Amino acid sequence: MNGRLSRTFSRNPFVFSLILFLVLVVINRALQDNMFELGPLNGNLRVFIPAIFLAVGQTFVIIAGGVDLSVGAMVSMTSAILATQIPQEATADVFLRALLLAFGAGALAGTLNGFGVTVLRLQPIVTTYATSFIFAGIALAILPEPGGRLPRDITSFWRNPLQVTTEIGIPIGLIVITLLVLFWIIIANTRYKQFLFATGGKAEAAYTTGIRVNRVKFTTYLFSALFATLAGMAIVFGTGTGNPRAGEQMTLLSVVAVVIGGTRLSGGQGNIIGSIIGALILGIIGNVLSFANLDSWVRPLIDALIIIIALAIPGLISLGRRMWKP
C-alpha cells in the first residue's frame, strides 16, 4: 500500500498541484461570486488558453531534458503574422492561407531550435535564448506597432465555438483542455512517450537501447513551436488584434507552469495534465489578486511563493519519510 502510494506520487507529481488548484478555486469563488456562471467561466478560461498551450509545448521539451526559451517570441511572431495577413474583410481562403503561413513559420522556428540543439549540439538554454531574439525581431519587422483588426466572425466564433444557443455555449477553454487531455492520453499510449521519458531520464542509456535520441529531442522543439503558434493564434482570435510583443512575458511563465505541474526540470519525469493545472493555477492567482485589490508588486511575490512551495513539497515529503523512519 505504502509502496503503491509513493509510486503514484512519484509518477504523478501533479497530485500536489491539483490540491493547490482546488484551494485557489475555493478562494477565487469566495472573492468572485459569479465565478461558476457560464459567462465569467468562459471568459476566465479563454484568457488562460494561451498559457495552457505554451505550458503543454514546454512540457515536451522539458521532459526530454531541454528547455525552450523562445516560446514567448514565437507567440509574438504568430500574432504579428496573423494580424497582418487577416484583414477585416478576409475570405475563407485568405484566412486559411494566413493560418498556414503562421504554422509554417512556427515549424521553421521549431526546426531552427531543434537544429541548434541536436545537430550543432548547443545547450538548449543558449540556443533558444538566442533564437528568441530572431523571432522577436521578425515579429517587430512584420508589425512594428500593435494593430490589425480581424473579422468579427472569427472573434465571435472563438468566444462561442459550439453554439448550443447564442447565450450559453460550451466554454472554448473546456474544449481546448479536453482536446489536450485526449491528445496526451493518445501520446501516453504510444512508443513516443516511452522514448520521450527515456531520452530525458538517461540519454546515454536510451541511445544504447537503440532510441534515436536526437530525433526525439528534435520533435520536442517542433511540438513546442506548434503549441506556441496555437497560443499566439488564441491571443489574436481572443482579442481580434495583433501585438508584436504579445508573448514577451510568457516564456518564463510557461516554464513555471510546467514546474508547478510536477514536471522535473532536469527531465525524465512529467505530465501534460500537470502543466495544464499549473497554467490554470497561475491564471487563477492573477484573478484572485485582481479581485483582492492588492498592489501590483504583490503578484510576483505570491508567484514566487507558490513556485517555491510547489518545488519544495516532494522534497519535504521525502524528508518527512526519512525523519519518521527509525
Partner 1 sequence: MKDITLVVENAVKTYGGVTALADGNLAVRSGEVTALLGANGSGKSTLSKILTGVVSPNSGRVLIDGAPVFFRSPVEARRMGISAVYQELSLIPDLTVAENIWLGHEPLRAGFMNHGEMKARTQSLLDLFSGMLKPNLTPDALITSLSPDERQIVEILKALSYDPRLIILDEATASLDSQQVNRLFELIGDWKTGGMAIVFVSHRMEEIFRIADKASVLRNGRTVGERTISETNERELVDLMIEGANALLRERAAVVPVDAPIRLDVQELRTAVLRGVSLQVRDGELLGLGGLQGQGQSDLLMALFGAIRYSGQIVLSGMPRQFKHPKQAMRSDVALVPGDRGTEGLLAIRSILENLILPSWDRYGVPLKMQKARADGTQIAAELKMVMASLHAPVSSLSGGNAQKVVIGKWLLRSPKLLLLNDPTKGIDVGAKAEFYHLLTQLRDAGTAILFYSSDDDELLGLCDRVLVLHDGEVSAELTGNTLMRENLVAASMGAAS
Q: How far is CA 110 from CA 165, 198, 243, 247, in A?
A: 39, 21, 21, 16
Number of amino acids touching partner 1 (CB under 8 A): 25
Residue list 227-266, contact with partner 1 (CB under 8 A): none
For residues 247 and 79, give the distance between their C-alpha atoms in angstroms, rounded to a whole number.
Answer: 9
> Considering only 205-213, 215-223, 226-234, 300-308, which stretch makes contact with partner 1 by CB under 8 A?
205-213
> Considering only 151-159, 209-217, 233-241, 299-307, which stretch makes contact with partner 1 by CB under 8 A?
209-217
Closest CA to 113 of 1, 6, 217, 3: 217
Q: By CB under 8 A, is residue 268 in contact with partner 1?
A: yes
The DSSP result for 124-162, as a single string, is: HHHHHHHHHHHHHHHHHHH-SSSB----HHHHHHHHSSS
CA 177 to chain centre: 11
Give the shortest CB-143-to-partner 1 separation in angstroms.
42
CA 114 to chain centre: 18
Question: Which one of residues 34, 123, 209, 290 is an interface residue with partner 1 (CB under 8 A)?
Answer: 209
Residue list 68-107, contact with partner 1 (CB under 8 A): none
Question: Which one of residues 195, 218, 221, 237 is an interface residue with partner 1 (CB under 8 A)?
Answer: 195
Residue list 146-185, contact with partner 1 (CB under 8 A): none
> Considering only 45-53, 152-160, 176-184, 206-214, which stretch makes contact with partner 1 by CB under 8 A?
206-214
Q: How far is CA 11 from CA 4, 24, 114, in A?
A: 10, 24, 27
Q: By CB under 8 A, is residue 8 in contact with partner 1?
A: no
Give the shortest CB-213-to-partner 1 separation in angstroms.
11
CB of 106 closer than 8 Å to CB of 226: yes
Q: By CB under 8 A, is residue 194 in contact with partner 1?
A: yes
Q: Considering all CA atoms of the chain, what is the largest pairwise distance in Å, rounded to the nearest integer?
A: 73
Question: Which one of residues 56, 136, 211, 233 is an interface residue with partner 1 (CB under 8 A)?
Answer: 211
Q: Footprint of partner 1 on this chain (CB under 8 A)?
A: 3, 7, 10-11, 189-191, 194-195, 197-198, 201-202, 204-211, 268-269, 325-326
